[in-house]
Amino acid sequence: MKKTILCIAGILCSSVMFSATAAEPSVDVGFSPEGSARTLVLETIASARSSIRMLSYSFTAPDIMRALADARRRGVDVKIVVDERGNRSKSSIAAMNFIVNSGIPLRTDHHYPIQHDKVIIVDGQTVETGSFNYTASAERRNSENVVVIRNLPSLARTYLLHWQERWDYGQDYQSVY
């Protein structure tokens, strides 16, 4: 009986400690061309410890490509789906080749007339979304926005289901060099 009471007390104490340490959901926003959108995207990628799932319409920003490759080198499982039609330019092809040559699986999606998602899901906890394309134009010239919702796994699961459908529609991209 004494052991049972001690076990129950231990479980209750660990439950209280767990709930006390669970991070509260938070939301941050950023805008471009002011620079805060780009900063939030890079911070979101840098915060990844286990996984990054990305959906992108246009995909050319060198700093974002490097951040994704750095995450991969840290051991983060990175996978990307991009719109096939929106990534035919030389700069897009160079970015996709860089990503694939960095060991990151990338698929192109041509299932829809436009795969216009701009989303990063990190560690099954954090979602970055908004109008921000992952391009230099979005960083420096366009009026864009980014919303980052942290510590909300239920939202991340919803986005992961959406991401998985697009991944399943996609075709593996093979580097041309």
* 87 DSSP β-pair partners: none
Query: Among this protein's residues, is 123 annotated catalytic?
Result: yes
Q: What is the pLDDT of residues 88-146, one digit of tens each?
A: 999 999 999 999 999 999 999 999 999 999 999 999 999 999 999 999 888 899 999 99
Domain 25-172 falls under CATH 3.20.20.70:
no
Catalytic residue from among 123, 162, 168, 172: 123
pLDDT, tens digit (0-9, with 9 covering 90-100), for 48-65: 999 999 999 998 999 999
111 belongs to the catalytic site: no
118 part of the active site: yes
How far is 51 from 160, CA to CA, in rounded Å?
11
Annotated catalytic residue: which of 28, 70, 116, 162? 116
Where do the structural domains in the chain lie, given as residue ranges? 25-172
Element (H, E) at 162: helix 153-169
Set 79, 118, 162, 172: catalytic member:
118
